[in-house]
Structure 1
Amino acid sequence: MSSGFLHRYFLNNSGKRLHKWVHYFDVYERHFERFRGTAPTVLEIGVHGGGSMEMWKAYFGEGARIVGLDINPECKQHERENIEVFIGSQDDPAVIGTILDKYPEFDIVIDDGSHRMSHLIASFELLYPHVRDNGVYFVEDLHTCYWPKYEGGLGLPHTFIEYAKRKIDQLNAVHAPEDLQVDDFSRSTDSIAFYDSIAVFEKRRQGHRQAIITKPLD
């Protein structure tokens, strides 16, 4: 059950700038609560005012490492102990590579960056393999998938929503015809959850399927 910590933190925030849709907080806690007190390593794409990194640090507790990525060099000012900010574009393999050199794996990745379709997909493909087993990849503000300003549009195949829909087939690839092959995504993904403006990918190794029949003794 949600503790309500994040919503209370947001409403009582007197620190750095925080900008969130209110309905996000229940979704955050549904997927992130199990990491509290476990010293997770968290990457947030999109730093802006720095308030959300402070929120994550307070929520996850002592030992949590919060890593930010933003294209604006001024975001470096938000660094402090266990909060580090990298500067660059989220779709740049060299920038992502620099982050991964220092932090090879993450428990949680939150994409709240440019919201451009090409950037969302590029970041996912670069970073998803580096989310730990039992980790979470959280993509928010996906209403932009329907806005031309962000390369979006209803039903356009290059939007992240349509990309994520295709990942549903990949999640079930073991049952599919031979033209859909089981890949690393299939083997490592337990679930995909969709909410208003949010898609959440839960990492967990898939096991062998067992279809068991039970019935009364004759």
Structure 2
Amino acid sequence: MTLDEYAIEYGTDKASTHHNYTAIYERVFSPVRESTKGLLEIGIGGVNYKGVAGSSLRMWASYFSNAQVVGVDIDPSADKDYGDRVSVVIGDQTRRSTLDKALGLLPSVDIIVDDGAHINNLTVATFEYLWPRLRPGGIYVIEDTVCVGELRLGNTRAQTEQLVLTLLRGLEVNGRIMAKGNAADFYKINPDYVLNDYERWVESVELYRGVYVIRKREK
């Protein structure tokens, strides 16, 4: 079955019947479908969720048949049995204790999907903590980015725009490195040069309507 077929079966709003994120995810994840061993999703859906709680966890577990799937949510009502290879951690997505507990349940941190609070400062804080813990070659997804300007959430576009600019600068490698004469080949940069985490590890940044996909370098 395709990812979208699983999404429709389990009732997640990622399906073509709603946001249609599965059209993006099929392209992004199909090459790593068999090799993915661990996926973390922030946001399960609790008592106030209008959709089907845990539906995307079931979708991921069915699609990535060799993976352990862990969901994080702040709402205790989200703590349910969502099937084999699915675990739940209840807690705040910006608490190290919550995230460390979730990461500890995965054999490998291959994919991270943030479908959590959709509050920009929380999204950025979560990314900053989890990015170094994503394995080399892994994929980080920030979902529902159409919310970045919603004032009812306390969001301003500048908060997420700054993160994107930081990632792009890291991707291209900043000016002080370029001035060393290494513009032609990233991999020949002398290890003495001080690279920040994004300069060293960002492989690509893909921006779609509602979804950002950030890939980490293999080495």
- The correspondence for 1:28, drawn from 25, 35, 38, is 25
- The correspondence for 1:56, drawn from 54, 60, 85, is 60
CA distance, structure 1, for counterparts of residue 107 and residue 61 of structure 2: 20
- The correspondence for 1:18, drawn from 6, 12, 37, is 12
Structure 1 runs of 4+ aligned residues shifted over 6 Å read none
The aligned counterpart of 2:190 is: none
Structure 1 unaligned runs (5+)? 207-218
Q: Is the 8 A contact 1:105 1:130 kept in 2?
A: no
Secondary structure class of the residue paired with 1:66: strand
Secondary structure class of the residue paired with 2:212: strand
Q: Is the 8 A contact 1:141 1:197 kept in 2?
A: yes
Q: Is the 8 A contact 2:72 2:89 kept in 1?
A: yes
TM-aligned CA distance change 1:81 to 1:10, over 3 Å:
closer
Secondary structure class of the residue paired with 1:133: coil
CA distance, structure 1, for counterparts of residue 43 and residue 93 of structure 2: 9
TM-aligned CA distance change 1:78 to 1:27, over 3 Å:
same
CA distance, structure 2, for counterparts of residue 7 and residue 116 of structure 1: 27
Q: Calculate the TM-score normalised by the size of structure 1.
A: 0.81
Q: Calculate the TM-score normalised by the size of structure 2.
A: 0.80
Tell whether 2:133 aligns with 1:130.
yes
Secondary structure class of the residue paired with 2:176: coil
Listed as ranges, the matches of 1:32-181 within 5 Å are 32-48=29-45, 49-61=53-65, 63-103=66-106, 105-154=108-157, 156=158, 159-174=159-174, 176-177=175-176
Q: Is the 8 A contact 2:7 2:56 kept in 1?
A: no
**Mean Cα deviation higher: 18-27 or 87-96:** 18-27
Q: Is the 8 A contact 1:145 1:151 kept in 2?
A: no
The aligned counterpart of 1:188 is: 201
Q: Is the 8 A contact 2:170 2:202 kept in 1?
A: no
% identity of equivalent residues: 28
Secondary structure class of the residue paired with 2:62: helix
Structure 2 unaligned runs (5+)? 46-52, 180-193
The aligned counterpart of 1:215 is: none
Secondary structure class of the residue paired with 1:143: helix
CA distance, structure 1, for counterparts of residue 161 and residue 112 of structure 2: 18
AA in 1 matched with 2:176? P
**Larger relative CO (CA 8 A, sep 6+): 1 or 2?**
2
Q: Which has the larger radius of gyration?
A: 1
Q: Is the 8 A contact 2:103 2:109 kept in 1?
A: no
AA in 2 matched with 1:80? G
Alignment RMSD, CA only? 2.2
TM-aligned CA distance change 1:122 to 1:105, over 3 Å:
farther
